[in-house]
Structure 1
Amino acid sequence: MESLPSQHFLSLGRPDAVSGPPPGTVDTTTLAAHDFDVDNRSGFMPPQVPVRRLPSSWELWEVALDEAMAGGLQLGDKPDLSEREVTNAEEWRVRVRSLPVLPITELKNSEVNLRRGHLVLAWVMHYYIQTHSATADVHIPPSITLPLLQICAQLQLPPVLTYADNTFYNWDLKVHQGENEIPRLDNLRCPILFTGTEDEQEFYLASTRIELRGVEALELMRATMDEAFVGDDIALRRITSFLLRLAVVIKDLRELLLGVRKGCNPDVFYNQVRPWLRGLNSSNRKWIFEGLEDDPSLTEPPELSGPSAGQSPLIHALDIFLGVDRFSHAGSNSSPGVAALSFLDRMQLYMARHHRAFLNHLKSNPRPLRDIVLSADNVPLLEAYNNAVVALKEFRDAHMIIITMYIVGPSRRAQPIAAAPAEGATAASEYSGPAPLKGTGGTDVVNFLKGVRDSTAEALIH
């Protein structure tokens, strides 16, 4: 495949976390950046290891996160929680409540540090919330509320853990072999974990590997869009070959998704990892952000979903590029009281704003691929397009397999526990019984994924 033009948006250099951007390239360390933050080597992921620590002015946030991980804080609704574990969590929360409200004025100068600030404070907030009892409303102290919501206003992100936090900015290399080394699928680890288990790490890394493998898909999209502007017979033959290759890449994504089974135990995920990731939409209690009156520019977030695969910009890009989004993104919202957007459209609000801009760029393509296929009267092109759609549908079949293994199965096994007295109940009991099973994004996960999978199949052209 031909190399990218030097000025193409996928060829734009991305900034080094320390030395800044290469000469002559857009500076994405500032909030003035207008590129798509997509790298032709690593896709939506940063090509270099994310910054591991904030500058000293915000060291107190880093220390709070360090103490939470080192202290082995436990879920507040863990069965048989010991008095020592309860005390340990409360002592940590007292220290968090006593933290000063650190200003973010200087933090605004660096997009990289703002992202790190969002990650650290969101993790601290989830520790703070999930170490409480599962039924008690949680008052989030100003030491978290104010800087987190101020950072979110800059990044245009919600104040909650996101897919991007855990997938794009929570990785390091197992072995550092040289400066500016590009991440590889087999050389990744996660430095921040709630449980410290290999299961949790593999759950996050499954998505990270999918995003990395998706780099070729982004290049195929770019090449296809370029050929679409030419539109002659040679261009159609090239687009056909690109689509055949895209189907292969999507099949690889499917295998990487199923590969999570090798390192992540379903019961460990469901009972020990998943509860930490719950957003407000998956909770039966209120999250009360204290201190908002001290900054009139801030507002109470209307809804907060936990990190979800539905927040993957790569999968959204595939939907949009293939024209599947008009089928898969249809449907009503599953969250009461939230503006009527489809779940997948709503999940775009949890993506980095540069990545949302990338998706909007794809949507605004004046020559959509699906329209070209429909109007070309070209059998090989039609078959190649359908092959890619089938591959995407099979990817969603695999997602259903994972949901069955990691949510449906453990939920059923947890039902006998749910019938026990309250002090013996687990977080899993929240989702057992006749109530719909919720994904980490807060949606009725089984019916939602079935609907998206079936809608994807409807995109086939007959």
Structure 2
Amino acid sequence: MSRFTPTPGIVTHKRLKNMTFGSHHLSKELPAPYGPWMEIANNLPQLIESHQLRIHVDKMPLLSSQHLQGHRELSLAHLALSFITMGYVWQEGEKETAKLLPRNLAVPYWEISQALGLPPILVHADLVLANWKKKNLNGPLEIENLDPIISLPGGESTKGFILVTFLVEKAAVPGIKALVQAVNAILQLDDGSLQQALQEMTKALKEMTGALKQMHADCNAISHCLVLLLSWKDNPAMPGGLIYEGVCDKPVAYSGGSAAQSTVLHAFDELLGIHHSRESTVFLHRMREYMPTHHRAFIEEIHATPPLKQHVVSSRNTELHAAYNRCVSALTDLRTYHITVVTKYITLAAANAKQGRIEHVGVFLPMNPPLSLEERGTGGSGIMSFLKRPDKCRGNGSVSSMAVSAVPVPVQAGETLRLGCYRQNYIYA
């Protein structure tokens, strides 16, 4: 893609109102005709645990999506049908996956996905960005005052996993606004404004790390929840993909929900000039196809602006250099802590499962290690190989990918991750 210089003061302005992730939430219910969808979605944990979900879905009426009005109703419908679809496919774990999604679910789900520009699978925008509600409408956006709209088996652990990830996104909002300020400061050659923006971005990245540290869920309960988020792309449990009855006669494959589909870190990487390995870049760019359309457009606008790092280096402003380096350091710290989360919630749980040490946690799945989760991650990517080779960087101060994912991706238990490549991105006065 060729780069161009947008009009100063206008770049990303149209997108900014759509990037404040925590500012709006969906209604909790759809219009009356769609009651069957919400009734099943609101009872998913019990239906999955009792192995009754497929029976209930098979009895659902085939409903037209034409009566859904506006983006919020379409988004809530996508949220509900996405959760139902994941439960339907993975109700019996990896050994008895559904290979066909029935017409009464597949047809409206496909139509709604087309209308929103999203794939017909649960994505990060469903699981996290759209999946929250306040207990007290006048209360704060804090975890004590939040519930998911729709959940999965795993009780409080699953609830915390969803909501902490949402709080990480919420913490990023000031950083996204500062990112827009930084872009416009570059275009207007305003180093004072740019330095201030970098300071705000650094603060937001630190707040994101702090939010992620609220993750205290039970790792065994989460490992079972994550099985329900697996993809049917590059997944040995579903080598042919999934047939959407009434839509396509042949199976199709999609990646599962992963915070590699989150816009915020893609945007930070684009602005700061963080370059990933070729393999990782291919994966991360594919994850952009799973973002809301205006999020993808936002990242493209950031990509199309003059390079920040080049501007900072050419300025010879040592204070600006330091502000840039602190921002890179804050991003490094966030990704380092992410590896702690990865190790706790996937690697150790998988190791325990292999050794038969999983305690009974009241969930539905047999006590077998989730092989495709362990090997590929929920996004259906070989992210473990990315994490094992962080020291292999390309030139120009680039870094090896960690494919940041709030649905974590595995490294080997006890293995450490070196992030020295991020240090290569620093600017030295």
* TM-based fold match above 0.5: yes
Task: Supply the AA of the counterpart residue of 1:142.
Answer: R
Decide whether aligned partners of structure 1 residues 456 and 144 sit closer, same or farther in structure 2, where only a CA change above 3 A counts.
farther
Please tell me whether the aligned partners of residues 21 and 129 of structure 2 are also in contact (alpha carbons under 8 angstroms). yes
In structure 1, which of residues 118, 125, 130 is the aligned counterpart of residue 78 of structure 2? 118
Match of 1:95 among 56, 60, 81: 56
1:57 deviates by: 2.2
Q: Secondary structure at the match of 1:101?
A: coil
CA RMSD of aligned residues (A): 2.8
Partner of 2:29: 53
Question: Match of 2:371?
Answer: 430
1:332 to 2:279 alignment: yes
- Check 1:116–1:198 CA distance in 2 against 1; reply closer, same or farther (3 A cut): same
Instruction: Supply the distance in 1 between the matched residues of 2:44 and 2:344 (Cα, whole angstroms).
Output: 30
Q: Give the C-alpha shift of residue 152 in structure 1.
A: 1.2
Provide the C-alpha distance between the structure 1 equivalents of 2:82 and 2:257, rounded to a whole number of angstroms.
11
Cα 1:8–1:168 change in 2 (3 A) is: farther
Mapping for residues 298-337 of structure 1, pairs under 5 Å: 302-324=252-274, 327-328=275-276, 330-332=277-279
- Alpha-carbon distance change, 9 to 301 in structure 1, aligned in 2, over 3 angstroms: farther
Confirm or deny: 8 A CA contact 1:141 1:290 kept in the other structure: yes
Q: Does 1:237 align with 2:186?
A: no
CA drift of 1:146 comes to 0.9
Q: Please name the residue that 1:452 is paired with.
A: 401
Aligned-partner residue type, residue 393 of structure 1: T
Deviations along 1:353-377, one digit per CA (max 9) or x if unpaired, are 1111111111112x33122112212
Change in CA separation of 1:300 and 1:321 when aligned onto 2, cut-off 3 Å = farther
| Alpha-carbon distance between aligned partners in 2 of 1:100 and 1:165, rounded to the nearest angstrom | 23
- Long gaps (5+) in structure 1: 1-6, 12-34, 75-84, 334-340, 419-423
Q: What does residue range 6-21 of structure 1 map to in structure 2 within 5 Å?
A: none
Cα deviation 1:66-122 (Å, max 9, x = unaligned) = 3434x3422xxxxxxxxxx44xx2xx4233123232111232x41111111111111
Counterpart residue number, 2:291: 351
Q: Does 1:363 align with 2:300?
A: no
Structure 2 vs 1, CA of residues 404 and 95 (structure 1 numbering), >3 Å: closer, same or farther? closer
Aligned equivalent of 1:141: 102
Cα 1:133–1:322 shift into 2, 3 Å? closer
The amino acid across from 2:176 in the alignment is L
Q: Given the superposition, is the C-alpha separation of residues 225 and 62 from structure 1 closer, same or farther in structure 2, using an over 3 Å criterion?
A: same
Contact conserved, 2:271 with 2:308, CA < 8 A, in 1?
yes
Residue 428 of structure 1 aligns with an amino acid whose one-letter code is P
In structure 1, the partner of 2:225 is 273
Instruction: Report the alpha carbon displacement of residue 196 of structure 1 after superposing the two structures with TM.
Output: 5.3
Paired with 2:251 and 2:326, the residues of 1 have a C-alpha distance of 41
- The Cα offsets for residues 129-165 of structure 1, whole Å up to 9 and x where unpaired, read as 1113522351210111111111111112111111111
Match of 1:461 in 2: 427
Distance 1:212 1:429, change over 3 A: closer
Whole-angstrom distance in 2 between the partners of 1:37 and 1:128: 36
Q: 1:104 to 1:300 in 2, by over 3 A?
A: farther
- Are the aligned partners of 1:122 and 1:161 in contact in 2 as well (CA < 8 Å)? yes
Counterparts of 1:302 and 1:36 in 2: how far apart (Å)? 31
Deviation at 1:457, TM superposition (A): 4.2
Q: After superposition, what is the alpha-carbon deviation per residue over 1:403-457, rounded to whole angstroms, capped at 9, x for unaligned?
A: 1111111111111239xxxxx963425259xxx6332212233332444254544
Q: Work out the CA distance in 2 between the residues paired with 1:396 and 1:59.
A: 41
Q: Relative to structure 1, is the Cα distance of residues 44 and 331 closer, same or farther in structure 2, using a 3 angstrom cutoff? A: farther
Take 2:38 and 2:78, find their aligned partners in 1: how far apart are those partners? 11
Q: Aligned pair 1:388/2:327, yes or no? A: yes
CA pair 222-68 structure 1, distance change in 2 beyond 3 A: closer
Cα distance in structure 2, aligned partners of 1:302 and 1:399:
31
AA paired with 2:66? T
Identity %: 23
2:201 pairs with 209, 223, 246, which one?
A: 246
- CA gap of 1:254–1:429, structure 2 versus 1, over 3 A, is same
Please report the TM-score for the alignment, with normalisation by the length of structure 2: 0.81
- Do structure 1's residue 38 and structure 2's residue 17 form an aligned pair? yes
Distance in 2 (alpha carbons) for counterparts of 1:414 and 1:275: 13
Secondary structure of the 1:405 match is helix
Q: 2:318 aligns with which of 379, 387, 390?
A: 379
Q: Does 1:443 align with 2:381?
A: yes
Name structure 2 gaps, 5 residues minimum. Answer: 1-8, 358-364, 391-399, 403-418
Structure 1 CA distance, aligned partners of 2:236 and 2:33?
Answer: 33
Distance (Å, rounded) in 1 between the aligned partners of 2:166 and 2:141:
10
State the alpha-carbon separation in 2 of the partners of residues 149 and 396 from structure 1: 34
- Name the CA distance, whole Å, in 1 between partners of 2:84 and 2:142: 29
Q: What's the counterpart of residue 216 of structure 1?
A: 174
TM-superposition CA deviations, 1:327-383 (whole Å, max 9, x none): 13x4226xxxxxxx6111111111111111111111112x33122112212222112
Residues of 2 paired with 1:183 and 1:194: CA distance? 22
CA contact (8 A) 1:173 1:187 kept: yes
2:245 aligned to which of 285, 288, 291:
291
Task: State how 1:163-174 maps to structure 2 within 5 Å.
Answer: 163-174=124-135
Q: Residues 411 and 431 of structure 1 are in contact (CA less than 8 Å); yes or no, is this contact kept in structure 2?
A: no
Distance change (3 Å), C-alpha of 1:316 and 1:375: same
Figure out how many residues of one structure are paired with residues of the other and give that number: 383
Q: Give the aligned residue type for 2:371.
A: E
Distance (whole Å) between structure 2 residues aligned to residue 227 and residue 252 of structure 1: 23
CA drift at 1:460: 2.6
CA 1:9–1:205 in 2, change beyond 3 Å: closer, same or farther?
farther
For the pair 1:399 / 2:348, whether they are aligned, the reply is no
Matches within 5 A, 1:73-92: 73-74=48-49, 85-86=50-51, 89=52, 92=53
